Structure 1
Amino acid sequence: MAYFGFKNLSSLSNVDMTIYRYVTQHQEQVVYMRVRDIAKNAHVSNSSVMRFIHKIGFSSFPAFKAYIKSTPNIQESPTNSFHFINKSRFPDDIEEQVTVVADFLFQCDNIITFGIGNSGFIAAYAARKMANIGFNTMAITDSTYPIPNKLANTSNNAIICFSVSGETPELIEGLNPFVNNQDTAIISITGNKMSTISRMSKFSLSYQEPETRINKFYDLSSQIPAVYIAEAITSLMEKQSKL
């Protein structure tokens, strides 16, 4: 109800909500309508329309129409708020790359997902998804965690590192012991194919996502592309486990 600057939703009846939905869905037409036109099309009475107008704070029907006329059409999506992603955000061969990585992970004995900050949440999500389908998976979201000790005397391991920039110093330091390691492969999921973390990896899955920060430390970069890739990997692993 913010469209009308009215936030007391609990005070609106079902009839009020019917009028509201009609007005917001037919904004361009409503500015040329009379009260009885709105009432007829919304299947309510003339008095219900006027009660609604007064309830949301307008003194008259002309004032109500003037407000609608001066307000951008809320049915349009000028910011594309729900157009989060499309295939152009990924390399042309992303599906082939994901298939190769899923096949590799399917054969691993131990899988660690690694990330900090917002990427840490995605790492934890991916680890839980893989654990749900039966893989020995652990999420590490603390950059100081002794991963080499965790994987000591083990082999056939994978570390999946999540990083939008691919340049996070703490992640690079944590991955360093495993570069060219015969027992542990690094897999990166990053928004920068040419990044340090990407170049450290045996497999690098990339996407296009600009790093966005406020006051240097507050990360607003979208994690949706990384989630897409993680979902695609776990989906393929699940299919293989059912064969």
Structure 2
Amino acid sequence: MALFNFTDLSSLSDVELTVYRFVVNNPEKVVYMRVRDIANQTHVANSSVMRFIHKLGFGSFPEFKAYLKNINQTVATRHIFTFVNQNNFLPDIENKIRLVADLLYQSDNIPLLGIGNSASTAMYAARILALLGFNAFPITDPFYPLNKQLENTSNNTILCFSVSGETEELIEQLNYCTKRPDNQVVAITSNPTSTIANISKYVLAYKEQKQRLFKYCDLSSQIPAMYIVEALAQVLISKNQDLTNENKAQQ
């Protein structure tokens, strides 16, 4: 079994968890270590290290190290000067961005949801929208009572950032919020057929390979999502300029 697919951490003893944390935090070092080196670093017995390795599903220590070496090399060689281009987006992305920009322009409130790495993107997008004069605010706590906050409001557009589109906490939030017709959802995701995409009125999809190291370390790039945020901002800036010019012309 691959290390990053090991989900039953509760089956590990305290000693095995110590070894697990050391390996997860030092994969590039472990590939050059011996069993007794790992045991010394984690202050456990050699036999405890081997029990941990067997519990993960590896038949031997060399097999375990070979897997780690392959993972390290794969991570090190991905996304080196691989820049985002038109191939990262679906053909209709520009039309959808204009539609979503129109929706945002008319919205009274714009909550932006995202957790994990997507939380940073949500915060960045909220700041940009706030600078443009919109009542935009990030929600990065998956248990934040957003539905209650929006209870007495109207004309809300929720921007949801999720690489997988299957984040359970976000799905639960959106299911509550979409029970009211005043709340509309826009998904920014790499999975246009995901649960979050299906909940949403519009989907701004991009192509990005999901990458994880040791299951919980998400290495998926946020750059395509940032491109979409910047594109939305440019359309909204243009709308503000058009409105300013129109007002000047009427004076």
TM-score, normalized by the shorter chain, greater than 0.5: yes
Letter in 1 for 2:100: V
Tell which structure's C-alpha radius of gyration is larger.
1
Question: Per-residue deviation at 1:235?
Answer: 1.3
Question: Per-residue deviation at 1:236?
Answer: 0.7
For the 8 Å contact 2:146–2:177, the answer to whether it is kept is: no
Question: For the aligned residues, what is the CA RMSD?
Answer: 1.3
Structure 2-normalised TM-score? 0.64
For 1:217, the equivalent position in structure 2 comes to 216
Question: Per-residue deviation at 1:80?
Answer: 6.3
Letter in 2 for 1:143: P
For 2:172, the equivalent position in structure 1 comes to 173
**Residue deviations 1:35-67, cap 9 Å, x none?**
xxxxxxxxxxxxxxxxxxxxxxxxxxxxxxxxx
For 1:149, the equivalent position in structure 2 comes to 148
Identity, % of aligned pairs? 49
Which protein is richer in helix relative to its size?
A: 2
In structure 2, the CA distance between the partners of 1:198 and 1:79, relative to structure 1 (3 Å rule), is closer
In structure 2, the CA distance between the partners of 1:199 and 1:79, relative to structure 1 (3 Å rule), is closer
Question: Per-residue deviation at 1:90?
Answer: 0.5
Please give the alpha-carbon distance, in whole angstroms, between the structure 2 residues aligned to 1:150 and 1:175: 13
Please give the alpha-carbon distance, in whole angstroms, between the structure 1 residues aligned to 2:185 and 2:166: 15
Structure 1-normalised TM-score? 0.66
Please give the alpha-carbon distance, in whole angstroms, between the structure 2 residues aligned to 1:90 and 1:153: 36
Question: Per-residue deviation at 1:180?
Answer: 5.4
Unaligned runs of 5+ in 2: 1-76, 243-251
Asked if 1:203 is matched to 2:174, the reply is: no
Please give the alpha-carbon distance, in whole angstroms, between the structure 1 residues aligned to 2:141 and 2:79: 35
Please give the alpha-carbon distance, in whole angstroms, between the structure 2 residues aligned to 1:144 and 1:89: 32
Please give the alpha-carbon distance, in whole angstroms, between the structure 1 residues aligned to 2:160 and 2:90: 18
Please give the alpha-carbon distance, in whole angstroms, between the structure 2 residues aligned to 1:111 and 1:209: 25
**Residue deviations 1:169-216, cap 9 Å, x none?**
011011111235310100000000000000000111101112111111
Unaligned runs of 5+ in 1: 1-77
Letter in 1 for 2:89: F
Q: Please state whether the residue corresponding to 1:109 is helix, strand or coil.
A: coil
